[in-house]
Structure formats: structure tokens, C-alpha cells
Amino acid sequence: MTVSRPPASAPLILLVDDDAELTHILEEFLSQQGFRTLSAHTIKAALAVLRHETPTLLIADMRLPDGSGNDLIAYLRQQPEGEAVPVIVVSALADASSVQTARRFGADEYLIKPFHPDELLAVVQNSLHRRRAVEQLVTREAHLQTVTILAKTIEARDAYTGGHVERVSTYARKLAEALGWSAEDLMLLEFGALLHDIGKITIPENILNKPGPLTPEERAIMREHPQRGAEILRHVSHLRPTIPYILYHHERWDGKGYPEGLRGEAIPPEGRLLAIVDAYDAMTTRRPYRTHPLGKAEAAAEILRQSGTIFDPQMAKTFVHLVQEGKI
């Protein structure tokens, strides 16, 4: 078994093939492309590697001196840490049955020998790209579940806002999509919309659920929730980019909002967008200050009327069109 060592952070590829010359050529080639490599010429040697280290990707021949490459794939797939490892089978067996069997055991790709190293490289890069995409999705879903639980915990303290964060998140995404926001921006928006009222977790319940008008002192405390929420998220690195949603969703286009009194396009777009959908949901649901909610058409008309005063004119116009088209 041979080892080559580019940077320790580089993806690790395990090559398993009884052709020592081919293995050496592929090791040299993949090392030049920035990959770390391990090689083994038998299943026994490969299993010895897998018992101590999980590769980023496995490349295995179908026929080996002490068994089938499918047995190696089966072992890898049985390990919890091996379930997501991309597997590329390389073989001179070109019949459909061999390909189907390899895939049934868990192979992701099947390359027929002989092949050009560049062809292998393309398959390796595509496989690793898919793995990264899956890992990002899993991480995102885990974060989203945590954020959703947190948002629901916060919302449970407020007797008047059941379902508010989910509705705001839905409206916000539809408006952002209509405005052409990127996929990355949409992902951050989902977290930001769910957490926009996180600062309310610090507001006393007697103020949060007061059925009548707030006193000036109580209103001042309530208006602190954007800053308090932003301060909470400053300590959570992967949620820090969502702070503009939390901090600026009560700013107004005319500069009369809070907490910073920003005006027009000086307000980050995250805050401008969320201000519209947050207000729309407040208008169309029962609140302490509104026992009779507005209908969709009435609320949309109010958004349009306050366009250029409270709300970003272009965003407001786009949002109202979505309501009129029945998309919200």
C-alpha cells in the first residue's frame, strides 16, 4: 500500500485495483489535481484501510484477487460514516448485468476500462460536487429544524401570533422569488423570516400579551426587540448573516421607523422586504389592537397606500401584484 500526502485538508481518495501500474499512474495524476490518495491491491488491504479511515471517495475495480469489488462496496455502505461516500467502479466488464449489480451494491458511477485519466477526473469532481451538495442540504435541514423549533418556542409566548412566523416566511420567500433573489439569499431569508421576532423572547409576557394599548414605557420596551434579537444572533456564527432581517424589519421608507431611523435604500433590502410581509400578516390576522382582521384585498390596498411612506415602493408594488394574482 502506498500513500501520497498533499494538504491534509484535501479530499482523500482510496484506490483499490490489482493493477499496480494503473494504480500508480492514477495516484500520481490525482495527487497533481490536489487530492490525497491511498491505494490497495486486494480487498483485505482495502478493508484494513477502511477500518481506520473513511475516504472522501472510493475508486474500486470490480475484479480483485481475493473477491469482488462489490463486497468492498457492501462493507463500506454498512458503516454509518460510509453511507454518503461516493463510489466509482472501474472495470473491463462492460455488460449491463455487471453495471446493474455494482449499482445495486451501492456504486454511484461505473467507468469501463480503458479510460483516460481526464475522464476519471470529471467523474470524481462531479461525484464530490454532489456529495458537497448533499452535505449542505443535510446541514441546512438540521439548522432549519433547530431554527423552526426556536421560532415556535418564541411564538408560543405570544397569545396572538400563532402561525405568524410560518406565514411570514412563506410570504417573504414568494416576494423574494418574484424580485429575483439568488438561491443563497433565499436560504438566508428562510432563517431570517423565521427568527425575525427572536428578540421578543426577552420581552415580559405582560407587555407581549397586553390586551389593551401599551403605555409609552411599555412601547419603548417592545421596540427594543429588534436590537435584542440581533444581539442574540451575533453569538451564533451560522445565523449571523440573518441579522438584517431581525434588526431592520421595523424601519420605514420615510425614516420614521426604528431602531435606527434609516430612510429609503439606506435600509437593507432584507428589512424592507420583511417589513411588507410582516405588516401584511399583522393586518390579516387578529391582534390585541385589531379584533377584526382585514381581508386580503383590503390589506394589499393598505400596503399600496403606504408605499413610499412606510414601504419600499417597488417591493410593495410587486407584493400587491402577487396578492392580486392569488399567489399570496
Compute the distance between CA of residue 153 and CA of residue 100 in angstroms, rounded to an integer: 48
**What CATH number did the domain enclosing 11 receive?**
3.40.50.2300
Are 104 and 184 part of one and the same domain? no
pLDDT, average across residues 268-292:
87
Are 61 and 172 part of one and the same domain? no
Asked if residue 244 is part of any domain, the answer here is: yes
- Residue 148 pLDDT exceeds 90: no
By residue range, what is the domain housing residue 290? Answer: 157-324
Axis-axis angle for helices 117-156, 20-32 (nearest 10): 60
pLDDT band at 151 (very low <50, low <70, confident <90, very high): confident
Q: 134 or 225: which carries more pLDDT confidence?
A: 225
pTM of the model: 0.60
pLDDT band at 316 (very low <50, low <70, confident <90, very high): very high
Per the structure, the count of domains in the chain is 2
Amino acid 89: pLDDT: 94
Compute the distance between CA of residue 117 and CA of residue 35 in angstroms, rounded to an integer: 14
Are 117 and 174 part of one and the same domain? no
Lowest mean pLDDT among 169-173, 289-293, 313-317: 289-293
* Catalytic residue list: 200
Asked if residue 59 is part of any domain, the answer here is: yes
- Residue 322 pLDDT exceeds 70: yes
Amino acid 145: pLDDT: 75
Compute the distance between CA of residue 109 and CA of residue 33 in angstroms, rounded to an integer: 20
Q: 176 or 129: which carries more pLDDT confidence?
A: 176
Compute the distance between CA of residue 89 and CA of residue 180 in angstroms, rounded to an integer: 41
Are 258 and 205 part of one and the same domain? yes
Give me the residue label for grid cell 423570516.
193
Amino acid 256: pLDDT: 97
Are 300 and 221 part of one and the same domain? yes
